[in-house]
Amino acid sequence: AQSVTQLDSHVSVSEGTPVLLRCNYSSSYSPSLFWYVQHPNKGLQLLLKYTSAATLVKGINGFEAEFKKSETSFHLTKPSAHMSDAAEYFCVVDRGSTLGRLYFGRGTQLTVWP
């Protein structure tokens, strides 16, 4: 079975400081992993994906995530937060190999202070 745990429901940072959103997963297979972002009253936008290629994945808007199999983690980072990064972020796991049921974490609300 697949599951995702986002370790923080809320993260607050100051503009210009680093962002770390933590995600641990459980999967019986070699998973595909994703981060999605949702701005208020909007749909979900794909930030980045890991699909068994390079373990360090670069996404849009300066975000990165590193797949660590030994730690079953897929944390999302950004070196310098911008006000426009304030949103809810979802870590998502799929069984891998073929797009199938997506398992969502509960989300992390990122607040960016000026």
Partner 1 sequence: DARVTQTPRHKVTEMGQEVTMRCQPILGHNTVFWYRQTMMQGLELLAYFRNRAPLDDSGMPKDRFSAEMPDATLATLKIQPSEPRDSAVYFCASGLNPEAFFGQGTRLTVV
CB 10 within 8 Å of CB 19: no
Which CB sits closer to partner 1, 36 or 67? 36
Distance, CA of 27 to CA of 5 (rounded, Å): 12
Instruction: Specify the residue, 70 or 101, whose C-beta has the smaller distance to partner 1.
Output: 101
Q: Which of 6, 50, 49 is nearest to 26 (CA)?
A: 6
Q: How far is the CB of 79 from partner 1 (least distance, A)?
A: 24
Residues in contact with partner 1 by CB under 8 A are 32, 34, 36, 42-46, 49, 51, 90, 94, 96, 98-102, 104, 106-107
Q: How far is the CB of 33 from partner 1 (least distance, A)?
A: 10
Instruction: Return the number of the residue (7 or 102) whose C-beta is nearest partner 1.
Output: 102
By beta-carbon proximity to partner 1, the closer residue of 93 and 112 is 93
User: CB 101 → partner 1: shortest distance, Å?
Assistant: 6
Q: What is the DSSP string of 2-29?
A: -EEEES-SEEEEETTS-EEE-EEEE-SS
In whole angstroms, how close is the CB of 32 to partner 1 at the nearest point? 5
Characterize the bridge pairing of strands 87-94 and 32-38: antiparallel
